């Protein structure tokens, strides 16, 4: 067992873990934050996407031990003070989520795109979404919500 210290949504967690424990499982079962979802465990569906040290990553493709000393933001950490972020509000208003399984990963990935690209075009948004599977919405409302916040 290996000790790890990870900050999740601003709160520090100290745990002893097996090296093979995936970061996705660490977040869900050790930290107790189940907003991060597990859909495939091979990096394709994107439901597990979290922010690690400022960058969107697949938590199913990281080991918890790799996150020792790092700062993680999950979907639960996006909004502050009880108010939804503009992106979350746009999702709600536009019905960009139905079952919600893909939503946390998409929110993190979309925020990552909006942080690194000034005003992403619709094409850039659609390209980013190629890494996130959704089975309910057909993607259009999601694209529209992100484009609304991007101002494009």
Partner 1 sequence: MEPGLAVTAYYAAPNLLPPDGDDRIASSASHGFVADVAVVEIDRETAAVSVLDYVTVHDAGRLLNPLLAEGQVRGGLAHGAAAALFERHVYDEDGNLMTGSFLDYLVPTAPDLPTPRIGHRESPTPFLPLGAKGLGEGTTMSVPAAVANAVAAALGRDDVEPPFTPGRVWELLQA
Partner 2 sequence: MKPAPFAYVRPTTLDEALSTLADGGDDAKLLAGGQSLVPALNMRVLRPAVLVDVNRIPDLDHVERRGDALVVGATARQADPRLRDHPILAAVLPHVGHTVTRNRGTVCGSVAHADAAAELPLALVAARGSAVLASVRGRREISADELFLGPYTTALAPDELLVETIWPIPAEGDAFAFEELAQRGGDYALCMAAAHVSGGELRVVVGSVTASPTILTVDPERPGDSAAEQVEPWGSIHASPAYLRQLVRVLVGRAVGRALEDAA
Q: Which residues bind partner 2 (CB under 8 A)?
A: 2, 18-20, 22, 25, 41-43, 46, 49, 55-58, 60-63, 65-66, 109, 112-113, 127-128, 130-132
Does 129 interact with partner 1 (rule: CB under 8 A)?
yes
Could you tell which of partner 1, partner 2, none binds residue 139, using a CB distance below 5 to 8 A set by kind? partner 1
Give the full edge-to-edge strand order of the sheet including 2-8: 11-17, 2-8, 71-73, 49-52, 55-58
Q: What are phi and psi of 128, to 5 degrees?
A: -60, -40
State which residue, 30 or 95, has the beta carbon closest to partner 2. 30
Answer whether 66's CB lies under 8 Å from 57's CB: no
- The residues facing 8 across adjacent strands are 11, 72
Does 121 interact with partner 1 (rule: CB under 8 A)?
no
Could you tell which of partner 2, partner 1, none binds residue 134, using a CB distance below 5 to 8 A set by kind? partner 1
Could you tell which of partner 2, partner 1, none binds residue 141, using a CB distance below 5 to 8 A set by kind? partner 1
Please say whether the dihedral angle defined by the alpha carbons of residues 147, 150, 151 and 152, taken in this order, is positive or negative.
negative
Site for partner 1 in 65-84 (CB under 8 A): none
Does 16 interact with partner 1 (rule: CB under 8 A)?
no
E strand or H helix at 149, and its extent? helix 140-150
Question: CB neighbours of 32 closer than 8 A, spacing ≥ 6?
Answer: none
Which stretches of the chain bind partner 1, using CB under 8 A?
A: 40, 42, 44-45, 94-95, 98, 126-127, 129-143
């Amino acid at each position: 067992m290996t000790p790890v210290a990870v900050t999740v949504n601003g709160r520090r967690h100290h745990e002893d873990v097996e090296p093979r424990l995936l970061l996705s499982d660490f977040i869900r079962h050790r930290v107790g934050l189940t907003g991060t979802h597990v859909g495939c465990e091979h990096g394709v569906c994107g439901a597990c996407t979290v922010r690690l040290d400022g960058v969107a990553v697949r938590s199913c493709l990281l080991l918890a031990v790799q996150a020792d000393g790092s700062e993680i933001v999950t979907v639960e950490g996006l909004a502050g003070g009880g108010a939804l972020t503009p992106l979350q509000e746009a999702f709600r208003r536009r019905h960009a989520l139905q079952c919600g399984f893909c939503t946390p990963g998409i929110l993190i990935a979309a925020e990552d795109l909006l942080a690194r690209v000034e005003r992403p075009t619709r094409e850039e948004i659609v390209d980013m979404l190629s890494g996130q599977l959704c089975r309910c919405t057909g993607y259009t409302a999601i694209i529209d919500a992100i484009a609304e916040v991007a101002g494009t």
